[in-house]
Structure 1
């Protein structure tokens, strides 16, 4: 069995038995293909059946010297461990060479968030005298107003928007469905976009129900959404490193700051574990720390 054959088997396993999302699946397969290239080029065609722990350790060590982030290194190891665990379960190997691999210790990751003035600046940078501008405004407002992942945004269906009850049905990671409340403001923008902007587009086959369309009448790509946000961010003069996910972080952070229960935020974000959502309590702690440092009389006296 070659690397290519086992990687294909692994991909099928992750897709149909583990129900991985496309993005996570792509990342895992990409990681294993890099290992395959290393094994074929640097280890003289060592196969997935004979590669050893020392080879994997050396591979990870070489990658770590290239200044990749600790989170990237941790994902490589996670991918490699999952691959060789699968090979053992599939009875392709009797031993697991990845068992002793250890990932880097990850510090607390606090995602960038936008203030409401930041968000308003970005939206103000949109040229609303064009159809594309109005579409882009709607995209930003849905990202921020509903806390969607970019993949969820571009796959959103018109039929999954309930304007009467004010919620949207979202198909998230692992094909898990959740219902996200729709604010009146966001609902009004969506209705306006659908009736006044989208209705002018010649919609391609199979995209009749897709909410956000490009100029060709087909679904938008993740890359296009990233580029739209980068262009608007630069134009608005907001210096933070911003992606579509930043609006999702901001959605959750602002809800927590205004008193929303963490369990409700977990439900709206579609997190399977409350632990993932708890990152936002750390953001709130950081904010409280800044308040104390800037406004507490004892600290002010020290500064003075």
Structure 2
């Protein structure tokens, strides 16, 4: 099969059948465009002509390119190539997988950075008025937006959901459970999970739904999305990023804060509080507990610091 047709078929497969996100599919597309161009430069226009030595040469050249690419980028590029060739074998288009022996570079393990509970509380307070508060000093448009911002950040911290997952929430995804409120979160591969929502987050969301969202909704076309922008359209990931940056600046936090910081803090604080790692895995929507166990390293580091500063014979 021609390489361009093979790539198009594979991208349709991961988008429609596997349900990967638009951002993931776009990343795979960029990688495979690079791969197709490289094959074309070497006179290859059909996937049947790709041999293991050629795939190995492609990987080696990309690894030695200048300026050097990050290990994570190289790993994703090789994953895209392997995924394409495995797909062609599964579909009966190719007899063998020329990328079978390709091994991606091992990316250095970077421990996630979590905020302290005090920093999280300062960030939430800086985002908007606490539920039940009067919003002193705020009026009109400012109050509408800040109620939404508080609800957004409270929900990010309460659920540990990815910002893309929270942006996809509909109002009906908030459900009253038998033991309290829960939210339906749609994760990677369209997998759905149920995550409890604490009283603080639910109160903030209720304040937003009661006082802010109706007015924002009137400004745009009807949409079931939970979080809306100032013009009534569904809020974007970039909009959420700006909300977080604004709150971090008002809170005077020097640490870098991103949407994923809330997810890291959620997992770290749960484990520090005694939660089982497999429960945290389920709440985060990780396919493997190995992914979640990186947070246990963070809590062990915290325990070590306490030990070193507290035990009389630690040093």
**TM tier, shorter chain?**
0.7 to 0.9
Does residue 140 (structure 1) correspond to residue 147 (structure 2)? The answer is no
The DSSP-based 3-state class of the residue aligned with 1:298 is coil
Partner of 1:168: 183
Does residue 244 (structure 1) correspond to residue 259 (structure 2)? The answer is yes
Instruction: Confirm or deny: 8 A CA contact 1:112 1:242 kept in the other structure.
Output: no
Partner of 1:57: 56
Deviation at 1:39, TM superposition (A): 2.8
The aligned runs of 1:1-304 (5 Å cut-off) are: 1-40=1-40, 42-44=41-43, 46-64=45-63, 65=65, 66-126=67-127, 129=138, 130=142, 131-163=144-176, 165-201=180-216, 202=218, 204-205=220-221, 207=223, 209-300=224-315
CA–CA distance in 2 between the matches of 1:231 and 1:245? 16
**What are the superposed Cα offsets for residues 5-56 of structure 1, whole Å, 9 maximum, x if unpaired?**
211100122233333343333322322122123333x435644332333443
Deviation at 1:206, TM superposition (A): 5.2
Gaps (5+ residues) in structure 1? none
CA–CA distance in 2 between the matches of 1:238 and 1:47? 54
Instruction: Confirm or deny: 8 A CA contact 1:166 1:183 kept in the other structure.
Output: yes
Higher mean C-alpha deviation, range 21-30 or range 276-285? 21-30
**What are the superposed Cα offsets for residues 206-248 of structure 1, whole Å, 9 maximum, x if unpaired?**
51x2110112212112222223323433443433333211101
CA RMSD of aligned residues (A): 2.3
The 3 A distance-change label for structure 1 pair 60 and 125 is farther
Instruction: Confirm or deny: 8 A CA contact 1:156 1:211 kept in the other structure.
Output: yes
**What are the superposed Cα offsets for residues 170-225 of structure 1, whole Å, 9 maximum, x if unpaired?**
22222222211111111111011011011112254451x21101122121122222
CA–CA distance in 1 between the matches of 2:70 and 2:15? 27
Deviation at 1:116, TM superposition (A): 1.4
Deviation at 1:89, TM superposition (A): 2.5
Deviation at 1:163, TM superposition (A): 4.2
CA–CA distance in 1 between the matches of 2:48 and 2:309? 59
Partner of 2:133: none
How many positions carry a matched residue from both structures? 298
CA–CA distance in 2 between the matches of 1:233 and 1:67? 33
The 3 A distance-change label for structure 1 pair 296 and 106 is farther
The DSSP-based 3-state class of the residue aligned with 2:47 is coil
Deviation at 1:103, TM superposition (A): 1.2
